[in-house]
Amino acid sequence: MKILLGVSGSISAYKALDIARGLFKNGHEVKVILTAGARKFVIPEVFTYLGVTDVYNSEDDFLHKNVLHIDLARWCDVFVVAPASANTLSKMARGEASDLLTSVFLALEPSKNSLIFPAMNSVMLDHPFTKENISDIKKLKTLNNLFVSPTDAGILACEEVGLGKLPSVDEIIELIPAMVKPLSGNNQKTILVTTGATITPLDPVRYLTNSSSGITGFYLAEAALSMGHKVIMVAGLNATAKLDLFLKHPNFTMLRTSSVEDMKKAVHENLSRADAYISSAAISDIEFEANDEKIKKDTITDSLKIKKASDILKSVLEKKSDKQLVVGFAAETDTSDAILNKKMQSKPVDLLVGTKVHNGLVKNQKVAGFNADHADYRLLTNKGYIFEGPLSKRELAQKILNHIFPSNSL
């Protein structure tokens, strides 16, 4: 992806170095425009050492044979301003073309996305003029998916506490590629995803869970958002914090749940809105008859009363419409034909993802599937197996999305 990164005169300008480096490491081609104010905080040459292809200053438009702001506007897949100072926001809202950055902004084709990440003192951010400028920019719907990020709260450079902080570098790096491909109408789908582990309480102190990190759900969201779809994420309470990196994405909604019943309720409250349901969560099969008070050691016996937990996937298959697609996951220590075919017969999903797993706590075996970026998978449809072998979880997510919505493949 070709990313044009504009950097303006905010103290947060130094974070643009890490943003550029992170984007380059993720395989993107990056060019940078520095405003005159940004030059007070960062040195252009540092960007080139971090993998940036070219760095331009505010007056470089007059030093090239071609019209540079037009060339750059045509070159990029997405235009990003991070950080965007109050001064730069004001210029963009008024449609000024007083330097290279603002000229590029005006020269972008309507199909190009612009992502703007403000950063400034909280009093400046709350000033009526700044609020009006941000509001005016957000109203420019003709610029397609123009996105103005909310700021974070925290300790600012002036030692005051409040809103105005630039979002984290990791968040910006994840949001940029996830907002490049706008879709609308019938092409844009809503995908309901469960991820992470459920928690089954035994008493107010103890509970049963598993080693699922929820990272598969993160990659499913990344792939779906990058394809232009909407995502409703129902995540286990302790599922990876990386999911929070998408919270500012306008096409991403997340609900954190703990128990199986909590997750089931959240799924069914949102099922009617979904074109597809992907059940990647590691949902407990059993529940305890939970005690109201901590079980004392001297009352513990050799057995615990358990019962079957609700089968969320089965309940979805019973209530889904004919048009809704369903992807099921089978986390098994044995992913043989007999096991997976039985799973498919009992719960006939559109795609079954068999995952070889082991928590590493039994018989000194290696951890597999859980808390790892790779696993061995077998992908089964009603027509047979369509894939068998190792994949990274990012590769798996892309395979799943490409299978259920092939016309929007990455």
CA–CA gap between residue 51 and residue 151 (Å, rounded): 27
CA-wise closest residue to 120 among 110, 111, 131, 112:
131
**Contacts with 393 (C-beta within 8 Å, 6 or more apart), sequence order:** 215, 216, 219, 373, 374, 375
> 């699922």: which residue's tokens?
212
Neighbours of 410 (CB within 10 A): 11
Catalytic: which of 67, 123, 158, 304? 158
Tokens of 202: 């035994």
The reply to whether 158 belongs to the active site is yes
91 within 8 A of 103, measured Cβ to Cβ = no
The CA distance from 380 to 96, in Å, is 56
Please, which residues bridge with residue 328 across strands?
A: 279, 352
Query: Which burial class, exposed, middle or buried, applies to 170 when counting CB atoms under 10 A from its CB (0-12, 13-18, 19+)?
Result: middle
From 22, 24, 34, select the one nearest 1 (Cα to Cα): 24
Q: Which residues are catalytic?
A: 158
